[in-house]
Structure 1
Amino acid sequence: MRWISLALPLLILIGCSSSPVNRAQWSELRLMPTSIRSLGENLPEGSGLALHNQTLWSINDGGNDPILYGFDLTDDSATKVEKVTLRNAANLDWESLITTSEALVIADCGNNRGDRIWFQFHSISWDQLVESQGLVDANTINVKLADVTPAVERQDHNRDCEAVTEVDGNYWLFTKNWRDHKSRLYIVDPNSDQQSVSSHQSFDVAGLITGADYDAKSRRLALIGYGSGFAVTQPFIWIVPVYQGQAQFDQAVRYSLAKMGQWEAIHWYQGHLLISRETSPLGGALLAEVKLPTQMH
């Protein structure tokens, strides 16, 4: 998404504040992201992360070309950047990347205005991506949220989306609720070309969810986001256990991040988390690592 201008009138920012929430699950620990490299030259609006064979892939969001950017995670200089263009898909508002064993999936689900009817998921097999020579064609499915009514209400609605991940073979889509600061979960069948889905669960995340990733080994879901209004300076990560296909939000823990910014994407990596920040007045585009505490609080 585009950054939220800090130059807006303060009364507008105050109007975005949320109602009081239960903070019993909020840890007192503040996690410090460790910088890995700047992303500003190619990915000023990096909105998704996907890792395959040590190549980290990312995307810019809406208004940019339909290009995937890949670089070697082990190369500290990051001088070599691979660019792969999708020939048969536009970038309406790419907001998330899904990593599966067979493919990289682009979630075109951004909906700042609130009037979008269909979301698209563009799938490219890893083999095709490796052999692409700069151009690929994607397989696309179309998804509609069945329990909402589209209408133009820019950044004043609960129908936006920037966070999708794979859990047990399905895509889990989390809404970004500008109005009530909750998030609804929708489960998408990747094998259905066109489908309407209704929400399964709703979580009181107390903020705007911008990224999601699931670790099948530990069966933990990670959600990243930040607040609105003055709370835009307060990014956070939720760690949510998953059991028998259900997100156990009553057992989740929320950690604040000790480095400000519009953190837009998250990806599990060797038991820790890679996160990316979009360019904004709060800081430049950045890839960083976050290490979780050994003993969860």
Structure 2
Amino acid sequence: MNKFLLSFMLLFILACNTGNLTIISDLPSTLNEASGIDTTVHSDLIWMLNDSGNPPVLFGTDHNGNIVKKLKLNAKNKDWEDLTSDTKGNLYIGDFGNNTNKRKDLAILIVRADSLKNAKETGVERISFRYPDQKKFPPKKHNFFYDCEAFFHFNDSLYLFTKSHVKGNGGHTNLYKVPAMKGHYTAELIGSFNAGADSDSKITSADIDMHGKQIVLLTHTSVWLFNNFKGTDFLGGTATQLPFYHNSQKESVCFKDPNTLYITDEKTHGSAGYLYEFKLR
């Protein structure tokens, strides 16, 4: 049996066990902990990154999940959690993972579009920020709301959705706004949402479509779609939960087009670690 046929049969079998997610590829081992994904306006590549403890590298893949470019960054991967881009093709890395809620060095790294084209190694610009309502590091456990794994860029600002570690309130997320330019800022709290009570409701990634008309928030078992909002009142529109009928450690999401999402999950206990497509309609 040739390798192509074997791979096809394996993906077919796996697809039968992934609910309404469609497997595009089994990601290479170098992306076993993919926690951020996005596309840019000046490239056909899908950009991905790994989370904390991994080398500070961006991976450009084709639409089958094959790595075709690596870009080393002159920065530390303290806890990279999500990836987003702007209308000029710049990428932003969310180095704001904060499981213990005691970090005082939260940051977003800017990778300029020119570096994504030809460079093999590049520097970054740094956005530092703090949460206006966090007074203790760490706070009491009933206030463990200051982890973050989700954000997107819109109209010269970055919108961050926090991740709760409060028992019985896992799906609570606060929405903060930070300027998308290097500097040090106090984030602006502009809203909140609750996606559920259990740990599978935690928000692990977010994205906005290219027209700014709909956003998505990712959890391990579903995606929340928000539309019909006005301006930047993203959480004030219509919220619809779309279940996957599949549970894994899903860590990143981005729009492929207005009706389709790319989603990745981390490989755990020898399973998952895939690039998926998910149809919103």
Q: Deviations over 1:170-214 (max 9, x none)?
A: 100000012122000000111250011231101011120000000
Q: Which has the higher contact order (CA 8 A, sep 6+)?
A: 1
- How much does 1:249 deviate? 4.2
Judge conservation of contact 2:191–2:235 (CA < 8 Å) in 1. no
1:138 aligned to which of 98, 105, 124: 124
Q: Is the 8 A contact 2:192 2:235 kept in 1?
A: no
1:209 pairs with 2:203: yes
State how far apart, in whole Å, the 2-side matches of 1:176 and 1:112 are: 9
SS at match of 2:30: coil
Q: Which string of whole-angstrom CA distances, capped at 9 and with x for unpartnered residues, describes residues 252-284 of structure 1?
A: 101111222111000001221000101124832
Counterpart residue number, 1:38: 26
After TM superposition, give the deviation of residue 245 of structure 1 in Å.
1.3
Preserved contact between residue 84 and residue 135 of structure 1 (Cα < 8 Å):
yes
Matching residue within 266, 269, 284 for 2:272:
284
CA–CA distance in 1 between the matches of 2:188 and 2:65? 44
Count of residues in correspondence between the two structures: 251
Name the TM-score, length of structure 1 as normaliser.
Answer: 0.79
Residues 277 and 54 of structure 1: CA distance in aligned 2, closer, same or farther (over 3 Å): same
| Counterpart pick for 2:98 among 96, 106, 111 | 111
Structure 2 alignment gaps of length 5 or more: 1-17
What is the deviation of 1:65?
0.9
Amino acid at match of 1:203: F
* Equivalent residue runs for 1:69-218 within 5 Å: 69-73=59-63, 76=64, 78=66, 80-87=67-74, 89-102=75-88, 103-132=90-119, 134-148=120-134, 149-151=136-138, 157-179=144-166, 180-181=169-170, 182-206=172-196, 207-217=201-211
Indicate the residue corresponding to 2:15 in structure 1: none
Unaligned runs of 5+ in 1: 1-29, 227-234
Contact 1:31 1:292 in 2 (8 A): no
In the alignment, the residues of structure 2 paired with residue 48 and residue 165 of structure 1 have an alpha-carbon distance, to the nearest angstrom, of 11
Check the 8 A contact 1:35/1:287 in 2, yes or no: yes
Shift of 1:218: 5.5
TM (norm. structure 2) is 0.84
Aligned CA-pair RMSD: 2.1
Query: Segments of 4+ in structure 1 off by > 3 A?
Result: 152-156
- Give the whole-Å Cα distance in 2 for the aligned partners of 1:100 and 1:291: 23
Match in the other structure for 1:256: 243
Structure 2: which amino acid aligns with 1:43? Answer: L
Question: Quick check: which one's strand share is greater?
Answer: 1
How far 1:113 moved relative to its partner? 1.0
**Structure with greater helix percent:** 2
